[in-house]
A and B are shown apart, each in its own frame.
Chain A
Amino acid sequence: MVKRVLAIVFILIIGLWMAKALDQVPFGEDRMLVGKYYLEHVKEETGAVNAVTAVVVNYRGFDTLGEVTVLFIASTGVAALLWKKRKERSAKTEGSVVLTTGARILLPFIMLFGAYIFIHGHLTPGGGFPGGATIATAFLFLYLTFTLYEVDHKTFEPLEGLAGIGYVTVGLIGLAVGGYFLFDWIWQTWGVGKENIGRLLSAGFIPIIYTLIGIKVGTELTGIIDNMIKEPEEGGQ
């Protein structure tokens, strides 16, 4: 009881202290020191209509590369910690017919929608991370509905690596062509789709990178699900 009261008092003090600091950052006022630059230059410099995408992939692409890496580490870490030579699914009962049939019908729709999200990252809200997560949801669906379902590890793990390599390679080509790592060579050097702003074939390397991220995120989250849903077989090491 004393502990709880102390904790509440302590949290209140911290909260008060932070509120005092937050009070000095007035809400709704113009804080667009760098933000204004993004809004004013986003179309001509990146070709993207979606400013968030342009900031995330172009201006601050380094952070996105880092975030992709964080996810890669999470998936690798889970795989390293749950590693066993032989593993099997722990599910014992098959789902009802309604569930399995429903899954069969819905599956292509979810996949298609996920792909739609990451391909249209530069035009509509979304991008590689939500798109990839949607695709992973489709796989989660399969895992939860069918007792025997398992992804093909022989293709999944290399695919994950390849998508990552693809991202770094696009960046390295930028270094070779434009002189800067992660330089948007398709837009700034080649000028592909300059008259096409607002349509699918525009925005330089954003669709390419988002497709790679989508594949990567999709495979990684699926890998985490796969690792977590299985149990070591009897006698397996």
Chain B
Amino acid sequence: MSQYASLLIALPLFSAFLIPILKKVGKNLVMPFLVLTTLIQTGIAAWVFNEVYTSGEPIIIMAGGFKPPVGINLYIGYFAALFILIVAVASFLMAVFSIKAVKVEPQDKYAMLFLLLMLGATGMIATGDIFNLFVFMEITAISAYALTAYNKTGKASEAALKYVVLGGIGSSFFLVGVALIYGSLGTLNMAHIAQLASIVNPTVAKAGLALLIFGLAVEAELFPLNAWAPDAYQEAPHPITAVFSAFVVKASLYAIGRILYILSASEGWNSVLSLLIIMGTLTVVIGELSALRQTNVKRMIAYSSIAQVGLIAVGIALGTQKGLDASIFQMFNHAIVKVLMFLAVGYAALELGGPEMENFKGLGKRMPITAFGITLGAIAIIGIPLFNVFWSKMQLIMAALEAEKTGVVALILGASLVEMVYYVRLIHTIWFQGDGDKIRENSALALVMLLLITFIILIGIYPQPFWNIMQKAGSDVFNVAEYIKNVPLVGVSS
């Protein structure tokens, strides 16, 4: 029965391949079909989530019926079940938004690329094979390249070109890293690699890990490989921007975490951790400082998003269970808040003719619900009590204290301070400046925004049940011995 979870991969693929045929039947069917598919995907993801969390056992999908490490397996444990659900829900909400936001032709191609982006992120999170991770990363990346340039303006093409070049270099790094690890161990399965991690040659492990992390850092937007991100966020269609920040980054961050921890038994592991901490810290500092001087709201939130990613990376690199839990909580909260903010900003930009700060004057009077969404998202992301991000930042600080990394604590607090400055400026512009006529807001989008707002406040007031889930998800990544035990490795001896 549990093998049916492979529908999570099969359904988006099937639907994407069906669209060219559907287009012949009727052009107007494409966008509703996109919404329907993402809705079904959400249903399957919810079923899988329920299955994994009630039974406490991970779902192991063996493609082709071959046992790992001979065949490829998907590992849907606590972490994957949770994030596949997030990917599906975010895709569904953004598919609804796409109906309103994407008017540029050809919409059928847009729908196909959107579905495959969702597929890629799902696969990256679920896979238990290091080369398969590369394949899914390519699916994610290449559909992201095409979607970045989708608006076909000069700036969009430039942004996509930067992304393609950096992404290409990153992928080749990743592939060289995979080759090194395969060359020294003779296997590609993550559980099998983890099993052999203690005997792997330390030089190879260090070089391989560093290459893999560098390759993934392009997608994960870590400094110095994130130069593409602000441009791409600014120029991509609004729903795509939200999707980038909600799950494309998260999938890569998770992959970094997973690969890092499966090799945690190898020598020289700690030096890779410090590399990641340095990258994460620089990402936070540069992201926040750049956000401070933006006049384009979408770009400002993009920089803020990059800075948050840096915080998550630092949390992953603390090397403790607590740090991972906190990072995952931060990933979860950030996904919700950024979907809300990019949705609200994108919608306002559509109605007002552009995301420049100028246009946002008087938004509070013109589009109250949208303005409320932006405001609440901003307050939440700064980390004010009673909102969700407060708890995850708090946990991050506590984890950093426990790991005796006071620099990280200062980093988190400093970043929140800078965030406060630019978000308060934005809120001030929205509510206390300018005037204008009221615009009738789209009721479906208003409903989505209100739903997300409720969710943010709900987690803010009752964090405990969510924190329990995050701790389980964290142990899924941290507890490598358990991971190895859960994958039914067939005896392939050397």
Contact = CB atoms under 8 A, between A and B. Distances in A.
Interface of A: 17-18, 20-25, 30-38, 45, 58-63, 65-67, 69-70, 72-74, 76-81, 83, 85, 154, 157-158, 160-162, 164-165, 168-169, 171-172, 174-175, 178-184, 188
Given A60-B72, A77-B113, A21 B207 contact: yes
B145 A61 contact: no
Contacts of A58: 64, 66
A21 B203 contact: yes
Contacts of A67: 135
B13 A65 contact: yes
A34 B69 contact: yes
Contact of B204 (A24, A79, A158, A171): A24
Given A33-B69, A158-B20, A162-B17, 19 more contacts: A18-B176, A22-B183, A31-B184, A33-B187, A34-B189, A59-B72, A61-B63, A62-B132, A66-B135, A69-B16, A73-B116, A73-B139, A77-B109, A77-B113, A157-B20, A180-B6, A180-B62, A180-B63, A181-B10
A33 to B, nearest CB: 3
Q: For the complex, would chain A's binding face be called helix, strand, loop or mixed by DSSP majority?
A: helix
Instruction: Give the 6 A-B residue pairs with the shortest CB-CB distance, closest first.
Output: A77-B146, A33-B186, A164-B17, A21-B207, A66-B135, A181-B6
B3 A73 contact: no
A25 B180 contact: yes
B64 A83 contact: no
A171 B4 CA distance: 12
A106 to B, nearest CB: 30
B163 interface: no
30 contacts: A20-B203, A22-B180, A24-B201, A24-B203, A25-B180, A25-B204, A31-B185, A33-B494, A34-B70, A36-B492, A37-B70, A62-B63, A66-B132, A66-B138, A67-B135, A69-B13, A69-B116, A70-B138, A73-B143, A76-B109, A83-B109, A157-B20, A158-B24, A161-B18, A164-B13, A165-B18, A168-B13, A168-B17, A180-B65, A183-B65
B282 interface: no
A172 B65 contact: no
A17 B180 CA distance: 13
A31 to B, nearest CB: 4
B6 A33 contact: no
A81 B119 CA distance: 21
Interface of chain B, main secondary structure: helix
A17 B24 CA distance: 54
B70 A25 contact: no
A21 B180 contact: yes
A171 B10 contact: yes
B144 to A, nearest CB: 10
B188 interface: yes
Q: Which one of A35, A69, A182 has the highest number of Cβ atoms from chain B below 10 Å of its Cβ? A: A69
Interface of B: 3-4, 6, 9-10, 13-14, 16-21, 23-24, 61-66, 69-72, 105-106, 109-110, 112-113, 116, 119, 123, 129, 131-132, 135-136, 138-139, 142-143, 145-146, 149-150, 152, 157, 176, 180, 182-189, 192, 201, 203-204, 206-208, 492, 494
Nearest to A154: B24
A80 B132 contact: no
Contact of A80 (B3, B146, B494): B146
A41 to B, nearest CB: 8
A190 to B, nearest CB: 14
B139 A66 contact: yes
A81 to B, nearest CB: 5
Contacts of A66: 123, 132, 135-136, 138-139
Nearest to A27: B183
Given A33-B187, A59-B64, A160-B20, A175 B6 contact: yes
Nearest to A171: B10
A31 B4 CA distance: 35
B226 to A, nearest CB: 20
Contacts of A78: 146
Contacts of A169: 14
Given A24-B201, A161-B20, A172-B10, A182 B63 contact: yes
A235 B331 CA distance: 48
A158 B21 CA distance: 5
A83 B132 contact: no
Nearest to A237: B105
A34 B63 contact: no
A187 B325 CA distance: 45
Given A79-B109, A161-B19, A181 B9 contact: yes
Given A34-B492, A61-B63, A174-B64, A79 B106 contact: yes
A17 B6 CA distance: 40
